Amino acid sequence: MKNIYKILIAFIGVLAVSCNADAVDERPIVEGVSIPEITAPATGKEFVLKADDAAKEAAKFTWSAAKYTSPVAVNYTLLIDKKGGDFSAAKTLKVTTGSVTEVSVLVKELNQAAIELGGKPEEAAFYDVKISSNISGAVQQFSKGLITISVTPYLGRVVYEFTDWYLIGAAVAGGWDNNVDTKHQPMFRDGKEANKYKFVGYFKAGNFKLISEKGSWASQLGRASDSSIEIKDNAGEFTIPADGYYAFEFNTTSLKYTLKAYEDDAIAKTYETVGIVGSATGSWDVSTALDKSDFDKHAWSLSGKNAELNDGDAKFRANNSWDVSWGGTTPFSGGGNGENIPVAKSKYVIYFNDLDGSYLMIPNQE
- In 3D space, the residue among 147, 120, 115 whose CA is nearest the CA of residue 131 turns out to be 147
CA-CA distance, 323 to 271, in Å (whole number)? 12
What 255-260 contacts at long range (C-beta under 8 Å, 24+ apart), as own/partner pairs, is 255/224, 255/228, 255/229, 255/230, 255/231, 256/227, 256/228, 256/229, 257/223, 257/227, 257/228, 257/229, 258/227
**Burial category of 298 from C-beta neighbours within 10 Å (exposed 0-12, middle 13-18, buried 19 and up):** buried
- In 3D space, the residue among 143, 146, 135, 128 whose CA is nearest the CA of residue 34 turns out to be 143
Residue 281 near residue 309, CB atoms below 8 Å: yes
CA-CA distance, 327 to 35, in Å (whole number)? 49
User: What is the torsion angle, in degrees rounded to the nearest 10, for the CA atoms of residue 228, residue 230, residue 235 and residue 239?
Assistant: 20
pLDDT of residue 181: 63
CA-CA distance, 235 to 218, in Å (whole number)? 10
pLDDT of residue 242: 98
Domains of the chain, earliest start first = 32-152 (2.60.40.10), 165-266 (2.60.40.3620), 269-363 (2.60.40.3620)
- In 3D space, the residue among 12, 352, 39, 25 whose CA is nearest the CA of residue 199 turns out to be 352
Q: Mean pLDDT per segment of 10 residues, for the chain of length 366 residues?
A: 40 40 44 82 96 90 88 90 94 90 93 88 95 80 90 84 96 89 88 97 98 90 97 96 98 98 92 97 96 97 90 96 96 90 92 97 79
Q: How far is CA 315 from the centre of its chain?
A: 12
What single DSSP character describes residue 184? P
Give the pTM. Answer: 0.63
pLDDT of residue 158: 81
